[in-house]
């Protein structure tokens, strides 16, 4: 069986990717790889504290590998650090990297080019699946999650810290993808069939952060702190 590392954000898409891969039994998943902002000790983009990601990995029963970045870095530096870490995995016998992307073609191409250049293969178990169906499967399978990062261009602050349950599909605006695939929101999964125990946490304050405008990237987010 081919050995794989799974790109892990702590959110619903990476949790579903792991869930589906375990059901298919096509890969031996040997660990989780998480991007961490070393300056803040939090997962990149999602803003979740590193210790909560460590608690997830412990409850899943897989080792967690952190790819730490010194704050904001250029794409060249980012690509170099990712390539170094993936090369280390390849030297350990890993042949595949699993991602939870659903339908962003440009992101898939970027990932494939990056891993193929190193002689690895990218795997996308959720690719092109209907996101309404995916979110329903997530809830029906027993997963539990809260929203931890809200894009203010799509949702209001009231969504920060909200449970990702079966009421979400009815309440989301029509402009928002049910799985937040366009960056509308990010989540933290704290229970479900991949865990041997739930992750304990408390809701903290909400923090609004704006970033300098860069091309077409969104710049205004609300983060729900968890501790």
pLDDT for residue 152 is more than 80: yes
| Overall average pLDDT of the 5-15 stretch | 97
Structure confidence at residue 220 (pLDDT) = 85
CATH number of 2-123: 3.40.50.620
**Where do the structural domains in the chain lie, given as residue ranges?**
2-123, 131-226
SS (H, E, C) the chain: CEEEEEECCCCHHHHHHHHHHHHHCCEEEEEEEEEEECCCCEECCCCCEHHHHHHHHHHHCCCEEEEEECCCCCHHHHHHHHHHHHHHHHHCCCCEEECCCCCCHHHHHHHHHHHHCCCCEEECCCCCCCHHHHHHHHHHCCCEEEEEEEECCCCCHHHCCCECCCCHHHHCCCCCCCCCCCCCEEEEEEECCCCCCCCCCCEEEEEEEECCCCCCCCCEEEEEEEC
Distances in whole angstroms, Cα of residue 84 to Cα of each of 42, 54, 203: 21, 22, 35
The residue among 85, 73, 81 whose CA lies nearest residue 33 is 85
pLDDT in tens, 94-131: 999 999 999 999 999 999 999 999 999 999 999 999 99
pLDDT grade, residue 132 (50/70/90)?
very high
Range with top average pLDDT, 14-18, 34-38, 39-43, 205-209: 14-18
CA–CA dist 170, 148 (Å, integer): 19
| Overall average pLDDT of the 18-36 stretch | 96
Separation of CA 92 from chain center: 24
pLDDT in tens, 174-223: 999 999 999 999 999 999 999 999 999 999 999 988 755 554 455 689 99
């Amino acid at each position: 069986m081919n050995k794989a590392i799974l790109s892990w954000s702590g959110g619903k898409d990476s949790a579903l990717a792991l869930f589906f891969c375990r059901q298919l039994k096509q890969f031996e998943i040997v660990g989780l790889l998480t991007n961490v902002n070393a300056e803040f000790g939090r997962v990149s983009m999602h803003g979740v504290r590193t210790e909560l990601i460590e608690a997830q990995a412990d409850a899943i029963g897989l080792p967690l590998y952190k790819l730490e970045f010194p704050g904001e870095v250029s794409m060249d530096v980012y690509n170099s650090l990712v390539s170094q870490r993936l090369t280390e995995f390849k030297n350990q016998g890993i042949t595949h990297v699993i991602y939870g992307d659903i339908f962003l073609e440009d992101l898939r191409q970027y990932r494939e080019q990056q891993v193929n250049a190193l002689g690895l293969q990218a795997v996308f178990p959720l690719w092109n699946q209907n996101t309404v169906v995916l979110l329903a499967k997530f809830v029906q399978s027993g997963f539990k999650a809260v929203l931890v990062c809200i894009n203010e261009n799509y949702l209001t602050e009231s969504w920060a810290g909200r449970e990702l349950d079966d009421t979400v599909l009815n309440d989301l605006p029509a402009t928002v993808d049910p799985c937040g695939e366009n960056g509308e929101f990010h989540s933290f999964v704290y229970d479900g069939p991949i865990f041997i125990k739930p992750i304990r946490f408390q809701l903290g304050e909400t923090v609004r952060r704006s970033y300098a405008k860069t091309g077409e990237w969104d710049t205004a987010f609300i983060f729900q702190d968890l501790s």
